[in-house]
Amino acid sequence: MTDLLRRLVRTPQGAIGLLLLLVLAAVCLFGPWLAPQDPEKIDFLGRFRPAGAENWFGADQLGRDVLSRLLVGARSTIPMALAATLLGTVIGSVVGTASAYLGGRWDEAIMRTIDAVMAVPGLLLALLLVSTLGNGATNAMVAIAVAFAPGMARVTRSVALNVRNQDYVKAAIVRGERGSWIVFREMLPNVMAPVVIETTIRVSFAVMLFATLSFLGLGAQPPASEWGLMVADARQYVHQAPWILIAPSIAIAVTAIAFNLLGDGLRDAMNPRNER
Amino acid sequence: MTTPVLSIRNYTLDYLTAGGPVRVLQDIALDIAPGEVLGLVGESGSGKSSLAWAIMRHLPKNAREVSGDIRLGDTDLRALPGRDLTRVRGRRIGMVFQDPSTSLNPTLPVGRQITETLVITRGLSQAEAWTEALALLGHVELRNPEALMKRYPHEISGGEKQRILIATAFGCRPELIVFDEPTTALDVITGARILELFTRLRAETGVAALYISHDLALVSRVADRVAVMKHGKLVEEAPADRIFRAPQHPETQILVDAVPRPERRLVHDQPGERVLLAAQDISVRYARRRLFRPAPPPATQAVGFNVRAGEILGVVGESGSGKSSIARALTGLADFSGSIRFDGRPIAAGRAMDRQYRRAVQIVFQHPDSSLNPRQKVGEILARPLRLFGGNVSDVGRLLEQVRLPASFADRWPHQLSGGQKQRVAIARAFAAKPSLVICDEITAPLDVSVQASIIELLLTLRAETGTAYLFITHDLNLIRQIAHRIAVMRGGELVDLLPIDAIDAEHVHPYTRDLIAASPTPVG
Amino acid sequence: MSLSWILRRLLLIVYTVFVVSVLVFGITQVLPADAAVTLLGENATADALAAIRDRLGLGDPIWMQYLRWVGHAVTGDFGLSMRTGQPVGPEMVAALGRSLLLAFAAIALMLVVAVPLGVVAAVRQGKLADTLTSLVSYLGVAFPEFVTATLFAMLLADTLQWLPATGYVSPFEDPWGAVRHLALPVLTASVILVAHVSRMVRSETLDVLHSDYVRAARLKGLPERTVLTRHALRNALLPVVTIVALDVGYLLGGIIVIEEIFAIPGIGRQLMVAITARDLPSIQAGALIMSATYAVANTLADVAYAFLDKRIRYD
């Protein structure tokens, strides 16, 4: 594990991605304590105050400190995206591995159905699910997880099929190993690496999707300072105070970039050929 | 003396890597006279390919030429500016590559790929180039050149592709042609025909050639002189017939000794009479019929044979002959119809094979890279069969020593081992089960000849110690003739011959077997 | 490309649309909305509600309701909108037309930008152009559509006043006006596509440039320009067909947000309106039509690829 970390830091993408994510993790954990002001404190005198000594990133339409809202809002954005991706990965990996293991007609039927489900654009599927389950952050998370599952199933299956055809798995079959040994000891450790990489990159999509649902009014609900919601609120005040819009936009982008960079870094670091 | 076509002097080449410069070629000096064929032999990593790229001026970006000259006639190739290179390549030096299936653009008809070359190198018009291409294809014994020119590469066989590439190279009328293992990717018989073609065209045109190969026996037959490379150095250069009879350098000696010679038997005993494994009417079929799609033909058709205790049964055939399907059926990897009896006991097919049989019959796979789980250490890999088949886990060290590896290798990861070492671990894994039959599926094919020879030596020692029988699957007839008691010849899923080794030259053998023997080059001298 | 292959592809579309219809119907059936109440309002009498439930067949088992819905849907009849009372089918198809205009324009713009970007990055691998392209692609995939849309609108419509911020003009009535109104949405939709596709083109081109047959083409004396145009680019750009088709799915999702922000009456905006109003027939029709469009686009891409790439044998 420490070995992996060392190799990760050696790749430029991995180093930058990890650094950004450490900062984001700190913000998620300690946001309320780091925030210079109370994010809900309304200050009518300070409405649309530009960035300066009092409000580092400026103040919004109610005079609330934008930086404080961002720092606190990280909690309602990033963990949700992370949870949605993990849930989607677990569902997808189970289906994908099962499909690869069953093989034959079952595999064909499962994969054709997954292809068909993937014909529904991810955002549309999430929208349909949220409108059924009801608005709210938790429901949005579940919807994103379900929307991600088919894609993860595809990835896992193709990796698992590839691993299944390796001679060391054949050797285990020839030895007469039990199915559980083959799946968990021979296949899974080798399937894990590409799936972890794919998952990491997908967190960035989840962050964006979650913010989009909130932006459309179906995800996190006011007065939460979720970043997508902040952008939605800020749109009508673009003329007076562009910073209330730009700050959360950049926060979303930085998070997405961080996970993308980490994913690319992991891809290099997890390549077993580089393990020397 | 006339000016050599190619002259290399004191040529030294480095590759820059993260760990500093690595020397790949050291003080290379060689000449090729007009009309001469120089064979260049070496194992993988010896630098023979780097030398070819240096001559073609196509070195990788991290290459640094330290010193030396490469001259083509009067032209100093190293001093040639980039834009003049296109006037040398194709026109003055041609090249034929190892794998004809990847050397042609898959999305262009082959005819256009010939004519575009003729137009550029010989300044012909499109119409002239077309006529010339037809003539060239006819000259390399390709039937119906008109139709062939309009086909795409995937629509023709590997042998035809290589003929087309050779025709193109000769058609440009260069002074020198570099051949980089032109028969390695082809089947034995196809390769032999390509070699005949090479000899004929060379004799007709008198073009000088550099023939690169790992196969000393093959090179000694086509080349006038042979140069042997090792670790980036030319260790010996001699007329082809002398290299085998009187190798001077110890490295050459090792290479010569490693070349399999059918007349030099390595196994002198006879197997017992007891039949260990009896296979009857084995046919393997992989894919089933699908919607709108007919089922493919079976991979093997009703094959039957016995293996006796302690016997080495060789199975030879070309790719697609069904020889690996036999291995898959016998190990439960593929379902089959027919019957297997082991020690007189009937054995169920597929996953229902019992533990006792699975212990007694082990397999070693072809690709050392994929046969060891990259996420398990060597120790774990070897401990598993010991635990499963009632061995003692503390025997891992002993197993490693049995295959001539240090016991400390138990702590290594597979990627820290060389190809030969990985194959030894795979052999150790098979012998951990104390098997009475080990199936070797092309296990020496990806290895260098000297490594191959040491693996064979290891297998024979293990057999002497344990009395194990081998089912040895290979395409190398010369190798199998050294060790097998009997040889099974397969073609197109059928068993065409099953002969005792001393009957292989007999009158009554199948014509295909005779073709295979004729196509397997044995060393001259 | 054989007849059986085409038959299989067609069968696959049918299966895809079937699965999607089950999915869409299933999800929307669980919607916490009583169609009868939605139609007649909260104050309707119990008798009136019972009558309309009977007429709509809401009491029937769910599979029967599904079969009835599908049976009508295949004839183009998706029922009446609960919001407007108008037939849903024609409305959605007209909206799809406007969305496709936006989608095609975005794909065209993306191809014009992304393909040269990817090719240049590959040919000049490791140089400045390559670094810049990879920077662009990292940034491009990190901004969700609603952020790009808002930022573009802020810059080009509000601050510089070059383009109208919202609205839709039919290209048949006012071509120039249509172009001006579509500019921002198209620009927004193409950003993520450019980022993704340029990256794919770069890696495809690199693969081909390092292939044996390109090396062989160089070594048989062809000039670099011929090698690049005749041998490398052609093969590198073939897979782009498939990549673009896959991105259509992403684009259709993004179009929901983009149409909402720029007030374009396309299928995405219709869907949003329907979801907000819990207008069941509209949601079902919109979702099914959108997904079927994507499935057809994918099949077309597969057929085009099979037609262009002689390597692949379909049997």
Give the length of chain C. Answer: 315
Please give the mean pLDDT across all residues of chain A: 82
Report angle CA A45, A48, A52 to the nearest 5 degrees: 90
Closest CA to B210 of B61, B87, B38: B38
A101 and A183 in contact (C-beta within 8 Å)? yes
> Is there a shared CATH topology between the B6-102+177-256 domain and the B275-519 domain?
yes
Running DSSP on this structure, what letter comes out for residue B316? Answer: E
Least confident of B183-192, B246-255, B343-352, C118-127: B343-352
C11 touches chain B (CB under 8 A): yes
Give dist(CA B288, CA A105) in Å, integer: 10
Label residues B403-431 b or e (16+ Cβ within 10 Å = b).
bebeeebbebbbeebeebbbbbbbbbbbb
Residue C286 resides in a domain: yes
Give dist(CA B50, CA B59) in Å, integer: 7
C239 and C203 in contact (C-beta within 8 Å)? no
pLDDT greater than 70 at residue B413: yes
Q: Which residues contact B210 (CB under 8 A, 6 or more apart)?
A: B6, B32, B37, B38, B40, B52, B55, B176, B177, B178, B179
Whether A121 sits inside 8 A of C294 (CB atoms) is yes
Residue C33 resides in a domain: no
Q: Which of residues 65-94 of B touch C (CB under 8 A)?
A: 86-91, 94
Give the chain C residue whose CA is nearest to the CA of B91. C221
In this structure, CATH architecture of domain B275-519 = 3-Layer(aba) Sandwich (3.40)
Mean pLDDT across C143-156: 84
pLDDT greater than 60 at residue C16: yes
Angle between helices A104-117 and A66-102 (to 10 degrees): 150
ipTM: 0.83
Mean pLDDT across C102-116: 90
Regarding the domain with residue range B6-102+177-256, which homologous superfamily does it belong to in the CATH classification? P-loop containing nucleotide triphosphate hydrolases (3.40.50.300)
C42 touches chain B (CB under 8 A): no
Give dist(CA B331, CA A158) in Å, integer: 25
Whether C212 sits inside 8 A of B103 (CB atoms) is yes
Residue C312 has a pLDDT of 57
CATH for the stretch A2-275: 1.10.3720.10
pLDDT-based confidence at residue C13 (cuts at 50, 70, 90): confident
Please give the mean pLDDT across all residues of chain B: 88
Residue spans of the domains in chain A: they are 2-275
pLDDT greater than 50 at residue B23: yes
Percent of chain B with pLDDT over 70: 97
Q: Which of residues 210-229 of C touch B (CB under 8 A)?
A: 211-224, 226
- Residue carrying the six token digits 């090719």: C119
Whether B106 sits inside 8 A of C238 (CB atoms) is no
Query: What are the chain A neighbours of B374 within 8 Å (beta carbons)?
Result: 190, 272
Residue with more model confidence, B66 or B348: B66
Residue C308 has a pLDDT of 75
Neighbouring C-beta atoms of residue B464, cutoff 10 Å: 12
pLDDT greater than 80 at residue C29: no
Least confident of A48-52, A117-121, B301-305: A48-52
pLDDT-based confidence at residue A1 (cuts at 50, 70, 90): low
Q: Which of C28, C153, C256 sits opposite A124 (nearest CB)?
A: C256
- Read off the pLDDT of residues B442-467 as tens digits, 9 standing for 90 and up: 898 878 888 899 999 999 999 999 99
Q: How far is C228 from chain B (nearest CA, A)?
A: 12
Range of the domain at C199: 89-308
Query: What are the chain B neighbours of A190 within 8 Å (beta carbons)?
Result: 373-375
pLDDT greater than 50 at residue B201: yes
Residue B319 has a pLDDT of 80
B184 touches chain C (CB under 8 A): no
- Read off the pLDDT of residues B312-355 as tens digits, 9 standing for 90 and up: 999 998 887 888 889 998 998 888 888 899 988 888 877 678 88
Whether B371 sits inside 8 A of A174 (CB atoms) is no
Q: Which of A170, A176, A273 sits opposite B415 (nearest CB)?
A: A273
- Read off the pLDDT of residues C180-196 as tens digits, 9 standing for 90 and up: 888 888 888 888 888 88
Give the chain C residue whose CA is nearest to the CA of B153. C311
Query: What are the chain A neighbours of B363 within 8 Å (beta carbons)?
Result: 171, 174
Per CB distance under 8 Å, which residues of A are interface residues toward C? 112-113, 115-124, 127-129, 131-132, 134, 204, 208-209, 211-212, 215-216, 228, 231-232, 235, 238-239, 242, 245-246, 249, 252-254, 256-257, 260-261
Whether C220 sits inside 8 A of B90 (CB atoms) is yes
Whether C221 sits inside 8 A of B95 (CB atoms) is no
Give the length of chain B. Answer: 525
Strand, coil or helix: C15: helix
Q: How far is B488 from chain A (nearest CA, A)?
A: 23
**Structural domain count of chain C:** 1
Residue C90 has a pLDDT of 86
**DSSP H or E run through B75:** strand B75-76
Mean pLDDT across B77-105: 87
- Read off the pLDDT of residues B141-154 as tens digits, 9 standing for 90 and up: 888 888 889 888 88
Per CB distance under 8 Å, which residues of A are interface residues toward B? 166-168, 170-171, 173-177, 186, 189-190, 272-273, 275-276
Give the chain B residue whose CA is nearest to the CA of C234. B107
pLDDT greater than 50 at residue C230: yes
Residue A275 has a pLDDT of 44
Least confident of A48-62, A114-128, B506-520, C130-144: A48-62
Residue C314 has a pLDDT of 47
Running DSSP on this structure, what letter comes out for residue C227? Answer: I
pLDDT-based confidence at residue C64 (cuts at 50, 70, 90): confident
Closest CA to B478 of B241, B249, B260, B253: B260
pLDDT greater than 70 at residue B293: no
Q: Which of A116, A254, A256 sits opposite C16 (nearest CB)?
A: A116
Peptide bond into B298 cis (omega under 30): no
Q: How far is B259 from chain A (nearest CA, A)?
A: 28
B179 and B214 in contact (C-beta within 8 Å)? no
Residue spans of the domains in chain B: they are 6-102+177-256, 275-519
C183: CATH? 1.10.3720.10
What are residue B336's phi and psi, to 5 degrees? -150, 165
Q: Which residues contact B456 (CB under 8 A, 6 or more apart)?
A: B266, B444, B479, B482, B483
Q: Which of B353, B365, B415 sits opposite A171 (nearest CB)?
A: B365
pLDDT greater than 90 at residue B131: yes
pLDDT greater than 70 at residue A217: yes
